[in-house]
Amino acid sequence: MDEASPKFSDSGIVLHSAADFEGMRRAGRLAAETLDMITPHVVPGVTTEALDDLCRAFIEDRGAIPAPLNYKGFPKSICTSINHVVCHGIPGPKKLVNGDIVNIDVTVILDGWHGDTSRMFFVGDRINRKAERLVSVTYDAMMAGIEAVRPGARLGDIGHAIQTLAEKERFSVVRDFCGHGLGKVFHTAPSVLHYGEPGTGTVLEPGMFFTIEPMINTGTWETKVLSDGWTAVTRDR
């Protein structure tokens, strides 16, 4: 494909070139390296603000930008979502305690490309078995969604694979947040729902970039956003 003339699918989604793939791989690699760097620091007693500071310095030292910082007013460089927080938790003075589970969500902008990834962490050695199972099932559901990705498949196939696995394990799939397209833009088409019916939705084509990031709950799938306008929590917390 000609880099100077972006190609689009029938649904208006950008179809990227081979050179674009290389840029995205570099950005994704840096995002993953940021999570590797922060892993030994996720311990009881550390504040999420301290984790944010470490990630920001690591990203900026490598010539990249933390994408969440000031994005639509978001005040920090990463998202830290603890226990009942589903997503978009804002780092602050709260200290992690033994037994917490926390998701750290990192997005970097490197040479104009967005690399977006997250990782679940168990804090300390007091692991709640239900939380451990939730994290395991969520990972398996994500991988089931990824395995459904191929040219000619549909977005509904991804959502169906995730939903089927999660509900078989008696967990629920959050409906209020979804995966998304990305590339030169942080959030763009398509919206990637983590539930759905097979054979429905947009047809997948070579050159599409999008995230698959299922949020799975032990209780209801319903969420609510706190007064800070960002932090989404389970409604039955």
Which residue do the tokens 């003339």 mark?
A: 5
Name the residue among 139, 158, 159, 162 with its Cα closest to residue 148.
158
**11 lies in some domain:** no
Q: pTM higher than 0.85 for the full model?
A: yes
Residue 133: inside a domain: yes
7 assigned to some structural domain: no
| Residue 132: inside a domain | yes
Report the number of distinct structural domains present in the chain.
Answer: 1
44 within a domain of the structure (yes/no): yes
**Range(s) of the domain holding residue 159:** 16-234
Full pLDDT tens readout for the chain, 237 residues? 444 456 766 667 999 999 999 999 999 999 999 999 999 999 999 999 999 999 999 999 999 999 999 999 999 999 999 999 999 999 999 999 999 999 999 999 999 999 999 999 999 999 999 999 999 999 999 999 999 999 999 999 999 999 999 999 999 999 999 999 999 999 999 999 999 999 999 999 999 999 999 999 999 999 999 999 999 999 997
- CATH code, 135: 3.90.230.10
Within a domain: residue 2? no
* Residue 124 covered by a domain: yes
Residue type, 2: D
Dist. CA 76–CA 213, nearest whole Å = 20
- Tokens matching residue 183: 């590339």
Residue 108 placed within a domain = yes
